[in-house]
Amino acid sequence: MLDIRNLHVELEEDGKQILKGLDLSVGAGQVHAIMGPNGSGKSTLSYVLAGRDGYSVTEGSAHLGDVDLLALEPEERASAGLFLAFQYPVEIPGVGNMTFLRTALNAQRKARGEEEVSSADFLKLVRQKAQSLRIDAEMLKRPINVGFSGGEKKRNEILQMAVLEPRMCILDETDSGLDVDAMRLVSEGVNALRDAGRAFLVITHYQRLLDHITPDVVHIMANGRIIKTGGPELALEVERNGYADLLAEAQ
């Protein structure tokens, strides 16, 4: 599903190298977790995949299925089925949640040559998704993220995922922002959307999240590369011993 090879990325601003030959392959139906010390380049990886400005890829490739992600504009990547739940969700005053979601969904359908959904069908779809995720649809009438609590923003992200039905979901969680309730929300959302045709990349600082979302594969990232790959037990090892041994081993 997602295939990243020898990815090298530097900051456009000053040429600082952030990703230094990263390899990562996520299969359909799988959940992979990435953990790693602060400043490893975890967020940079998600931004580069989503196509955010300010980074230049100097070497390597990233494919979603057959699609060369790096050749596409950000909205084309979304249409190809990539979804990034932002670390710091933006507030968009004046734009209702429903309007935003419907616009995003229709843009993707159009790009795929499909018909737009009518407003009645869209309403039905959103209500059904909200209900299956046990999310209050009232929230949808408010401007996007404005005055949302941390938990509401998370709920909103999960609902966006459910409506847009991406093939590849990347969740980049804040290092400290997830309280126990938000963690439960995110994990229930991810688990509900787990599907043979969909894959997840969950970037997290805490093993606790992985108690709820059992990943198939855990990667440790440091200094712009994946330094170790294992199963869920690798996350437990990090929780117990920190990163020091793994970093030394990788030298």
| Residue 204 interacting with ligand ADP (CB under 6 A) | no
Whichever of 41 and 215 has its CB closer to ligand ADP, that residue is 41
Longest dimension (CA), the chain: 58
Name which of residues 31 to 60 contact ligand ADP (CB under 6 A).
Answer: 36, 38-44, 54
| Residue 18 interacting with ligand ADP (CB under 6 A) | yes
Q: Which of 24, 30, 31, 43 binds Mg ion (CB under 5 A)?
A: 43
The one-character DSSP state at 138 is: G
Whichever of 43 and 207 has its CB closer to Mg ion, that residue is 43
Whichever of 82 and 221 has its CB closer to ligand ADP, that residue is 221
Segment 220-223 long-range contacts (CB within 8 Å, at least 24 positions apart): 220/34, 220/35, 220/36, 220/246, 221/22, 221/34, 221/35, 221/36, 221/40, 221/41, 221/42, 221/45, 222/36, 222/37, 222/40, 222/246, 222/247, 222/250, 223/20, 223/40, 223/41
Select the binding partner of residue 71 from ligand ADP, Mg ion, none (C-beta < 5 to 8 A, by kind).
none
Select the binding partner of residue 46 from Mg ion, ligand ADP, none (C-beta < 5 to 8 A, by kind).
none
Name which of residues 51 to 110 contact ligand ADP (CB under 6 A).
Answer: 54
Name which of 6, 9, 35, 18 is nearest 201 in CA terms.
35
Select the binding partner of residue 187 from ligand ADP, Mg ion, none (C-beta < 5 to 8 A, by kind).
none
| Residue 38 interacting with Mg ion (CB under 5 A) | yes
**CB-based contacts of 103, cutoff 8 Å, min separation 6:** none
| Residue 176 interacting with Mg ion (CB under 5 A) | no
Residues within the interface to Mg ion (CB under 5 A): 38, 42-43
